[in-house]
Structure 1
Amino acid sequence: MRRFWFLIVIGGLGLAVLLALGGWQLQRLAWKSAVLADITARMATPLDGLPAQPEEARDEYRSLTLEGTVEKGALRVLTSRPPDGPGYRVIAPFRLADGRRVMLDRGFLPEADKDSTLPAGPDRVEGNLLWPDDVNSFTPAPNIERNIWFARDVAPMARALGTEPLLIVARSESLPGTDPMPVSVNIPNDHLEYALTWFALAAGWFGMCLYFIAVRRRG
């Protein structure tokens, strides 16, 4: 009899844990869906020019149109893009009409063209404000001598270019020279699949427990 009740207790605890994990993933699904909906709404809501004091929590992903001058001295950030392969993001200083200088992510440049001279001058940019989260503990320090950066690290890049620590990622430009890599939302949202997996395991566990209980009772 003790073994019988032991099976019931273990079975119930295991079922409760698996169901709780499935429910937690459904909560994560709701949270992630809300985050993605908020980003989509921001990207669809344009700013009326560059705010005097942009805030990441409020302004990230917001679209805007700016006119100014692309200046020389752009940084190169190592990247890759299918099917083009390895290349560089071009991060250039961009001077607005009011004198503010910010960074402009002009897009992709093939590896073979790394040291080519890109056109500078007056430009009309449509893009999005972004505070990229590219840097982690494994990111190497930039090779300043060769002008190769390994991530878009906003604060150090701004110091290198002498601009505000603000990055605008171009969707389109009137000035040619690079191929824009617009902001895209690549946040995975696999929580429904995880929830279904936990619930499937719960169903399997429940069926297995019923089987062992039935066998035990017959024995």
Structure 2
Amino acid sequence: MRRLMFLATFGLGGAAILISLGIWQVQRLAWKEELIADIEKRILAAPIKLPAELNPERDAYLPVEVTGVLGAGYLRVLVSQKQVGAGYRIIRPMLRDEGAILIDMGFVPVAKADALKFEEGPPLTLVGNLQWPQETDRFTPMPDVDENIWFARDVERMADVLDTRPIMVVRRDAPQSGGPVTPLPVDTAAIPNDHLQYAITWFSLSAIWLAMTAVFLRRKPGANKS
């Protein structure tokens, strides 16, 4: 009897923990879906003029309209696109009376990257979204300055190199001088949302745990002895 009580307590207790973890992941899934829906709504909202004061946490994804002159300098960030392959994000400075800012112009394939050449042109207006990407960590290689190859969008460091404010606008329209660069608008694809898979995993483990508990409870003591 003590053996049965121990197995039942251990089995049901373990299953209860696994089920509670699954329920928690379902709750997290609902929270994450609501968060993503709010971000998508924010991304596609009507653009406003770039505010004078910005906060990276409060103003991430804010749609803005900016006017200025695109500078001749640019930086290349190595990325990859599905069905296209390797290429670069092109980051250019936009010169404005209120202070220069960074513009993520979009994507260009590697084959076309070496032929890129930009010059200052007439003032133009771009629509895009503010972003402060968190793409760097201790494993991110340092930029290859000689080859103009970056491995992440480091807003602070790029701003120093291009002599701008640490503000990046990722364009979502095709400006008057886009050239071969295709916009890569901000979206929510990079926001991880694996909670459904986690929930299924925990619920599956709880079912297996209960099944194993039932098997042990049905075994007769000494059944495995010769």
Q: Same fold (TM over 0.5)?
A: yes
Q: Distance in 1 between matches of 2:8 and 2:43?
A: 52
1:216 Cα offset (Å): 4.1
Q: Per-residue displacement from partner, 1:6-53 (whole Å, max 9, x unpaired)? A: 111211221122112112212321331232122112213334200101
Specify the code of the residue in structure 2 equivalent to 1:129: L
Does 2:129 align with 1:128?
yes
Match of 1:138 in 2: 139
Match of 2:182 in 1: 179
Q: Distance in 1 between matches of 2:119 and 2:83?
A: 25
1:61 Cα offset (Å): 0.7
Match of 1:194 in 2: 198
Q: Distance in 2 between matches of 1:87 and 1:164?
A: 26
Tell me the secondary structure at the aligned position of residue 92 of structure 1. strand
Change (3 A) 1:176 1:119: farther
Tell me the secondary structure at the aligned position of residue 107 of structure 2. strand
Contact 2:67-2:124 within 8 A present in 1 as well: yes
Contact 2:4-2:217 within 8 A present in 1 as well: yes
RMSD: 1.9
Match of 1:58 in 2: 58
Q: Distance in 1 between matches of 2:78 and 2:210?
A: 51
Contact 2:47-2:64 within 8 A present in 1 as well: yes
Q: Distance in 2 between matches of 1:56 and 1:40?
A: 17
1:213 Cα offset (Å): 2.2
Using the TM superposition, name which of 196-205 and 6-15 deviates more: 196-205
Q: Distance in 2 between matches of 1:15 and 1:41?
A: 39
With normalisation by structure 1, the TM-score equals 0.90
Q: Distance in 2 between matches of 1:153 and 1:54?
A: 17
Aligned residues between the structures:
217
Does 2:214 align with 1:210?
yes
Percent of residue pairs identical: 44
Contact 1:4-1:216 within 8 A present in 2 as well: no
Specify the code of the residue in structure 2 equivalent to 1:74: Y
Match of 2:9 in 1: 9
Change (3 A) 1:5 1:216: farther
Q: Per-residue displacement from partner, 1:132-153 (whole Å, max 9, x unpaired)? A: 1111221111111221111100
The answer for unaligned runs of 5 or more in structure 2 is none
Q: Distance in 1 between matches of 2:63 and 2:208?
A: 48
Q: Distance in 1 between matches of 2:85 and 2:119?
A: 23
Match of 1:83 in 2: 83
1:63 Cα offset (Å): 1.2
The answer for unaligned runs of 5 or more in structure 1 is none
Tell me the secondary structure at the aligned position of residue 136 of structure 2. coil
Contact 1:120-1:175 within 8 A present in 2 as well: no
Using the TM superposition, name which of 186-195 and 53-62 deviates more: 186-195
Contact 1:124-1:175 within 8 A present in 2 as well: no
Contact 1:119-1:176 within 8 A present in 2 as well: no
Contact 1:106-1:180 within 8 A present in 2 as well: yes
With normalisation by structure 2, the TM-score equals 0.88
Q: Per-residue displacement from partner, 1:62-89 (whole Å, max 9, x unpaired)? A: 1122221111111111112122211111
Q: Distance in 1 between matches of 2:199 and 2:14?
A: 16
